[in-house]
Chains A and B, each alone.
Chain A
Amino acid sequence: MSESVISSIDFEVTSRAGDARAGSLSIRDTVIETPNLFPVLNFYGGGTINSNYGGGIHRTIKEFLIGHERINGGDYSKFFDGVMTSVSSLTDYNITRERYDDYVSQPIKERDVFSPFSGILFIDSGGFKFLSSDELDGSNFQIEIDQAKVYEIQQKMGADIIVNLDRPISPEDTHKQRIKKAQQTGQNIKEFLELSSDFRGARYLTLHGYNYSMMDEFLTEITRYTSAETLRSAFDGIALGSLVPKKDDRNALIDAVIDCRAVLKDWGFEELPLHVLGISSRAIPLLVALGVDTFDSSTYLQTAINGGYCTSLMETVDISEADPEQCNCPVCSSEYLKEWMRGNAPYQKDMLGAVAMHNLIIQKRSIFEIRDRVRRGETEPLIEYIESTVAQDKPTREHAHRVVNHSLGGYF
């Protein structure tokens, strides 16, 4: 990593509450506060510039991102201070080669249409999708995917944060399969570091495993290809992956994050920002308490697509029963968008898009509040938050109490 690269990235922890930490992550000229949530968004959804590159509900969300007149304008930028997208989502809409070439021809933030977007752009490698097929599959073309190709695309799309191409594990994997995946990831990491040595954004190392020993073994395997010292000096953050299959097993999720923190400490990575891939929503307060700095999630979209309107981080009602009058978010405060949410929208995607934007605001506001509480530097405000949210829900109560006892000084 060159001197200039080091100076362009900075992660500073400004306050701690138990294991939770709050701080700021600066990449080049962009600074975001942590803990933070990156909404998952497809910038390219089959369309052209005329439709903001399309994508159904994603298109509507992009209109919020840029304050487009279709959604009656407005400034939603603070809810998009960080956005997650993936290399593998490029061909989600069965595009032609020509369209693909267009999509990767210019960095996202340099396109006029996306110019109002100034947040941090995190581009995942999409390793999970490439497990089943090592190619990007369009309507009339295939592109073979390897580490070099992934990095090329991440770069062309103008990423601020990138991860190496990884081979996520699954709970069904045998030990042999896991080792093989770790070795493949290890090879990719070596290549990734060589290829991206002059990358001016932040590079995150993917980490896989469900417990301390698995993660420790993963790191041991990848250090066959790249020394631990190089890993420590080259990477700017850690991305903990493979947890999506465990997302409904809160105890497993908590175990994994607790153990991840322990492994990172023992391997000398503890000062790096920790991102958890693909998990958030109701787990947000617990993940923050455990010491996670950033996470990404598409639940705001998925919830809307499934007809859900979030009334809080913990509660969702059916859209038909939603009462936007009870919410003061910019979407629910707009008569124009309220009409959309009531179903009087040009398209279904617009109705759902408005609801998804509302859901995202609910999640982002929760993270703002949690962050404020961590910033007070005491555990009590965060405990109070967890008590009034996650712990009120019977199925998640024991997990809330476990995390308070483990990471926030405990009750007794």
Chain B
Amino acid sequence: MRKNPKVNEVNEFLEIASDFEDPLEVIRESLSNAYDANASNVEIEIRSREMGSDIIIDDDGDGMNQRDLESFFDLGNSRKTDSIGYKGHGTKIFYKSDRIVVNTASDEANLRAEMDKPWEKLNQRELPQYEVTETPVRKGNTGTRIRIRNFRSGQGFDPESLTYNKIEHYLKWKTIAGSTAYLFDDEDREMNITVKLGDEIDDSRQKLETTTRFKFPDEQLDPDMSSEFPAERMCKHYKPTEVEVEYEGGTTTLQIVGMVGGKAARNELPTYGKHSAQFGVWLAKDHIKVERLNEAISHDNEFLHFFFVVNCQDIELSANRESIRNKSSPVYQRLTEEAEYYLSKVAQDPWFKEYLETRRDAEIKRRARNRRSSLKDRRERIESGQALEPTNRTEVLLTLERANSKSDASTITVEDFEPNADVHAIVRQGGKLRNAAVHHSLTDHFEDDLTFEEVDLIICWEYGDPTTLREYERTGYLGGEIEFQLESDGLVYEDDGQSFIEILCLNQESDKVTQQAVISD
């Protein structure tokens, strides 16, 4: 018996509509549809409502006939072939609402379609229906107006999260408004886009106006040597390049365009998220950016400096256009190889090397300036009579040597110093060589888990936190008992046998408090 596999239509509609997670995707789909309908102008209005958002999309495109209208509501029944929305998935995002009304005027028909409670019905496992009415055609007045009531935008369109600024960046990064097609096609149409947000969402301005062209920051090949960050505004354009690529099973064309630039130049670009999540190499379809391919840039070169769009019409997208589906295909394999190849040329562009060098040189100079200012502080401290306060082993020994020159008492001279060994120094005292651990604080010896084997003497600047020392007395150290006898300048450690380790604290004056605190315990 032959059987036909079945499709659960309601579930399919639910699934596809749910795939669109970001409510902003409704804007992307509307713009793509308007562009596909040859519109010169499109206006999108969004108002916040208690249950969601009301959205009106108005374009002056070719309008829809009966068949187009069916495609609008049907799933996977698109009539478009070489346009952006050829799958018949995009408009299904509108189903996440309480009502859809489409008024459309084409040269063939003047139609009105209404669908009530699509989302509620789908969730009740019922396929929503729509009613179409036709009125006489008025020639020369084509266009489409779509009204969506209570679009389920979640918190996405709340005043807290939606602003003109956010929409502008989204438009340029994720939709046809960020298209680079015009750089390749002289015939490319430009569409004017207007977005109006209700004052309850963002009242900072009346509306947002832009077009379907992505603009790169102006080129600036030379560094600004008057700036502390001379490479920051440097920017080089890499002109639109078409590369024919053969792959197993056909040929395809890559359209590559981009720029390399410093942070200030990149800041002139719209950004949707963090710089690190935005820059690099974007694979695009219909000149709308889809996914990044940062592995196309070798590891030596930070992808952040690059912004390239590699467009290829032979990549296939998921329903929500957020990812590429045919990554295991030969065409994808070849296009990534070619993108990598092209970017290797960019990475070896002498200008790019100069740009990196300018950045590096400026960074070194800035560091040097910081060093100079810290040097100034240090010199001022000396001039004010403040003594050297050691912060590391070397400085502790320097302090010791100074103390030698000032003191008449028996001196300790450093004969050997290996800061990374367990026993840091060998010193000569009264003609004899002694092994010394050297620390800024006595407590460091314990924090470094050093033993007392072979250690005759601990030289430190200060004792450190007395409670830390008392804790070691209380709980023991490396399986042995320890007793600090700071008044006798030493400690007693008892493990297999008992040993007395002398402690030379160079800052005894200021450390008397610690000494008292330990002794009094």
Interface residues of A (CB under 8 A from B): 391, 397-398, 401-402, 404-406, 410-412
Residues B347 and A398 in contact, CB atoms below 8 Å apart: yes
Return the 10 tightest CB-CB contacts between A and B, nearest first.
A401-B348, A402-B348, A401-B345, A411-B345, A405-B348, A397-B344, A412-B349, A401-B344, A405-B350, A398-B344
Per-residue interface assignment for chain B, residues 277 to 315, with 1 indicating a CB less than 8 Å from any chain A CB and 0 otherwise: 000000000000000000000100000000000000000
Residues B298 and A398 in contact, CB atoms below 8 Å apart: yes
Residues A412 and B347 in contact, CB atoms below 8 Å apart: no
Q: Does B446 contact A (CB under 8 A)?
A: no
Q: When the two chains form the complex, which single residue of B238, B298, B341, B349 contacts A405, counting CB atoms closer than 8 Å?
A: B349
8 Å CB contacts to A: which residues of B330-387?
A: 341, 344-351
Residues B341 and A391 in contact, CB atoms below 8 Å apart: yes
Q: Bound complex: CA of A401 vs CA of B347, how far in Å?
A: 9
Contacts of A412 on B, CB cut-off 8 Å? Answer: 236, 238-239, 345-346, 349, 351
| B125 CB to nearest chain A CB (Å) | 54
Q: Bound complex: CA of A401 vs CA of B344, how far in Å?
A: 7
Contacts of B239 on A, CB cut-off 8 Å? Answer: 412
Residues B350 and A411 in contact, CB atoms below 8 Å apart: no
With A398-B298, A412-B238 known as contacts, the answer to whether A406 contacts B344 (CB < 8 A) is no
Q: Bound complex: CA of A404 vs CA of B239, how far in Å?
A: 18
Q: Bound complex: CA of A402 vs CA of B349, how far in Å?
A: 7
Contacts of A391 on B, CB cut-off 8 Å? Answer: 341, 344
Contacts of B350 on A, CB cut-off 8 Å? Answer: 405-406, 410
> Which A residue sits closest to B298, measured CB to CB?
A398
Given contacts A410-B350, A412-B236, A412-B349, 17 further A-B contacts (CB under 8 A): A397-B341, A397-B344, A398-B298, A398-B344, A398-B347, A401-B345, A401-B347, A404-B348, A405-B349, A405-B350, A406-B350, A410-B349, A411-B345, A411-B346, A411-B349, A412-B239, A412-B351
Q: Bound complex: CA of A411 vs CA of B241, how far in Å?
A: 11
| A148 CB to nearest chain B CB (Å) | 47
- 12 interchain pairs, CB-CB under 8 A: A398-B344, A398-B347, A398-B348, A402-B348, A410-B349, A410-B350, A411-B346, A411-B349, A412-B236, A412-B238, A412-B349, A412-B351
Contacts of B344 on A, CB cut-off 8 Å? Answer: 391, 397-398, 401
Interface centre among A391, A401, A405, A412 (most CB of B within 10 A): A412
Contacts of A411 on B, CB cut-off 8 Å? Answer: 345-346, 349
Q: Bound complex: CA of A269 vs CA of B346, how far in Å?
A: 33
Contacts of B346 on A, CB cut-off 8 Å? Answer: 411-412
| A313 CB to nearest chain B CB (Å) | 19
| B88 CB to nearest chain A CB (Å) | 41
| A219 CB to nearest chain B CB (Å) | 27
Q: Bound complex: CA of A398 vs CA of B349, how far in Å?
A: 10
Contacts of B351 on A, CB cut-off 8 Å? Answer: 412
Contacts of A402 on B, CB cut-off 8 Å? Answer: 348
Contacts of A406 on B, CB cut-off 8 Å? Answer: 350
Q: Bound complex: CA of A402 vs CA of B238, how far in Å?
A: 17
Contacts of B348 on A, CB cut-off 8 Å? Answer: 398, 401-402, 404-405
| A26 CB to nearest chain B CB (Å) | 36
Q: Bound complex: CA of A397 vs CA of B348, how far in Å?
A: 10
> Which B residue sits closest to A406, measured CB to CB?
B350
Contacts of A398 on B, CB cut-off 8 Å? Answer: 298, 344, 347-348
| B395 CB to nearest chain A CB (Å) | 33
Per-residue interface assignment for chain B, residues 231 to 251, with 1 indicating a CB less than 8 Å from any chain A CB and 0 otherwise: 000001011000000000000
> Which B residue sits closest to A387, measured CB to CB?
B341
Q: Bound complex: CA of A314 vs CA of B344, how far in Å?
A: 19
Q: Bound complex: CA of A178 vs CA of B239, how far in Å?
A: 47
Interface centre among B238, B345, B346, B350 (most CB of A within 10 A): B345
| A39 CB to nearest chain B CB (Å) | 31
Q: Bound complex: CA of A404 vs CA of B298, how far in Å?
A: 18
| A252 CB to nearest chain B CB (Å) | 16
| B127 CB to nearest chain A CB (Å) | 53
Contacts of B298 on A, CB cut-off 8 Å? Answer: 398
Contacts of A410 on B, CB cut-off 8 Å? Answer: 349-350
Q: Bound complex: CA of A197 vs CA of B357, how far in Å?
A: 48
| A233 CB to nearest chain B CB (Å) | 36
Contacts of A405 on B, CB cut-off 8 Å? Answer: 345, 348-350
Contacts of B238 on A, CB cut-off 8 Å? Answer: 412
Q: Bound complex: CA of A398 vs CA of B342, how far in Å?
A: 11
Q: Bound complex: CA of A406 vs CA of B239, how far in Å?
A: 19
Q: Bound complex: CA of A272 vs CA of B350, how far in Å?
A: 28
Interface centre among A391, A402, A404 (most CB of B within 10 A): A402
Q: Bound complex: CA of A397 vs CA of B236, how far in Å?
A: 22
Q: Bound complex: CA of A391 vs CA of B348, how far in Å?
A: 12
Interface centre among B238, B239, B344 (most CB of A within 10 A): B344
Contacts of A397 on B, CB cut-off 8 Å? Answer: 341, 344
| B128 CB to nearest chain A CB (Å) | 54
| A250 CB to nearest chain B CB (Å) | 12
Q: Bound complex: CA of A11 vs CA of B298, how far in Å?
A: 42
Q: Bound complex: CA of A397 vs CA of B343, how far in Å?
A: 11
> Which A residue sits closest to B348, measured CB to CB?
A401
| B307 CB to nearest chain A CB (Å) | 15
> Which A residue sits closest to B237, measured CB to CB?
A412
> Which B residue sits closest to A392, measured CB to CB?
B341
Q: Bound complex: CA of A410 vs CA of B351, how far in Å?
A: 10
Per-residue interface assignment for chain B, residues 94 to 134, with 1 indicating a CB less than 8 Å from any chain A CB and 0 otherwise: 00000000000000000000000000000000000000000
| B300 CB to nearest chain A CB (Å) | 9
Q: Bound complex: CA of A410 vs CA of B352, how far in Å?
A: 12
| A45 CB to nearest chain B CB (Å) | 44
Contacts of B236 on A, CB cut-off 8 Å? Answer: 412
Q: Bound complex: CA of A406 vs CA of B348, how far in Å?
A: 9
| B498 CB to nearest chain A CB (Å) | 53
